[in-house]
């Protein structure tokens, strides 16, 4: 461990730089491919739109409840949460299972698959390519020492425990690029176009979003609201304002 490893400049020219360039190019290519594949007809379900709007309106009611007279508030509350045809009331059992919804709507499943394919295929291909051509290289050295725990992150593919942790293997360099290029993409492709894998994964796991659940939550929140009309207070405040103005 006493002496430093000397890295061949050819490694820099033929491994490190090509790898990064290829990752950037693939990212851009993927952006355009996914743009092409995005289904043009984005007709959404009127029910989903309506549910979203109902939730916004109910939230407004909750926030501004004290600004309208008690009678108006009670009428609205009933309108939202009565158990016959209230807007927020979701009958038990009718709540759609998102999984079932997915199968009932082939378009949705198709969309999902397209999204996933555009993510997974290039990723596997590049990984295989990196493995095939560049496995086992020590590609770079970071200029500061690190603890042993970083070994699995930085030296993936090199099974030597004697190499200093600050050396980065080519496979690890690939991973660093995969997750670290987001800032560059947002520069090249514009702010919101950045193809961010980590974010996509989050979206996938959040796919089971269920609008009826948010309706139910909103209904519960509305049920416990106590109405206390604030307007009578305003008369005193107006009096104070005017007094300041007049005298």
- What 3-state DSSP class applies to 213? helix
* Separation CA 153–CA 149 (nearest Å): 8
Residue whose CB is less far from another protein, 46 or 91: 46
Dihedral over Cα of 187, 190, 196, 202: its sign: positive
125 makes contact with another protein (CB under 8 A): no
193 makes contact with another protein (CB under 8 A): no
Name the burial class of residue 227, with classes exposed (0-12), middle (13-18) and buried (19+) by CB atoms within 10 angstroms of its CB: middle
Scan for tokens 């397209």, then name that residue: 114
124 makes contact with another protein (CB under 8 A): no
Chain positions 212 to 241 lying near another protein, rule: CB under 8 A, are 231-232, 234-235, 237-239, 241
Residue whose CB is less far from another protein, 46 or 145: 46
Q: Which stretch binds another protein (CB under 8 A): 52-60, 123-131, 154-162, 211-219?
A: 52-60
Can you tell me which of 23, 61, 88, 138 binds another protein, judged by CB under 8 A?
A: 61
Dihedral over Cα of 216, 221, 227, 232: its sign: negative
38 makes contact with another protein (CB under 8 A): no
The minimum distance between CB 28 and another protein, in angstroms, equals 19
Can you tell me which of 1, 6, 36, 43 binds another protein, judged by CB under 8 A?
A: 43
147 makes contact with another protein (CB under 8 A): no
Name beta bridge partners: 169: 138
56 makes contact with another protein (CB under 8 A): yes
* Separation CA 104–CA 106 (nearest Å): 6
The minimum distance between CB 228 and another protein, in angstroms, equals 14
Residues 204-225 as b or e (16 or more Cβ within 10 Å = b): eeeeeeebbebbeebbeebeee
Q: Are 28 and 188 in contact (CB under 8 A)?
A: yes
Chain positions 70 to 99 lying near another protein, rule: CB under 8 A, are 72
Can you tell me which of 14, 34, 57, 98 binds another protein, judged by CB under 8 A?
A: 57
The minimum distance between CB 229 and another protein, in angstroms, equals 8
- What 3-state DSSP class applies to 230? coil
Which positions touch another protein (CB under 8 A)?
43-44, 46, 49-50, 53-54, 56-57, 60-61, 63-65, 67-69, 72, 231-232, 234-235, 237-239, 241-246
């Amino acid at each position: 461990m006493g002496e430093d490893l000397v890295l061949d400049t050819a490694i820099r020219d033929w491994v490190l730089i090509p790898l990064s360039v290829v990752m950037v190019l693939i990212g851009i290519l993927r952006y355009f491919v996914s743009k092409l594949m995005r289904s043009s007809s984005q007709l959404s379900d009127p029910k989903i739109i309506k549910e979203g709007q109902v939730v916004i309106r109910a939230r407004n009611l909750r926030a501004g409840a004290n600004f309208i007279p008690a009678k108006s508030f009670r009428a609205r509350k009933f309108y939202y949460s009565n158990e016959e045809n209230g807007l927020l009331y979701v009958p038990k059992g009718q709540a759609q299972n998102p999984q079932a919804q997915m199968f009932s709507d082939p378009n949705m499943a198709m969309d999902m698959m397209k999204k996933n394919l555009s993510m997974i295929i290039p990723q596997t291909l590049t990984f295989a390519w990196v493995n095939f051509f560049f496995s086992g290289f020590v590609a770079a050295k970071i200029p500061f020492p690190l603890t042993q725990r970083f070994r699995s992150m930085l030296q993936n593919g090199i099974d030597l425990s004697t190499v200093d942790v600050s050396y980065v293997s080519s496979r690890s360099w690939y991973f660093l690029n995969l997750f670290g290029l987001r800032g560059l993409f947002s520069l090249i492709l514009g702010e919101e176009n950045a193809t961010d894998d980590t974010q996509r994964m989050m979206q996938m796991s959040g796919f089971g979003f269920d609008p009826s659940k948010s309706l139910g939550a909103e209904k519960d929140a509305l049920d416990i609201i106590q109405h206390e009309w604030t307007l009578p207070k305003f008369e005193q405040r107006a009096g104070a304002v005017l007094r300041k103005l007049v005298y």
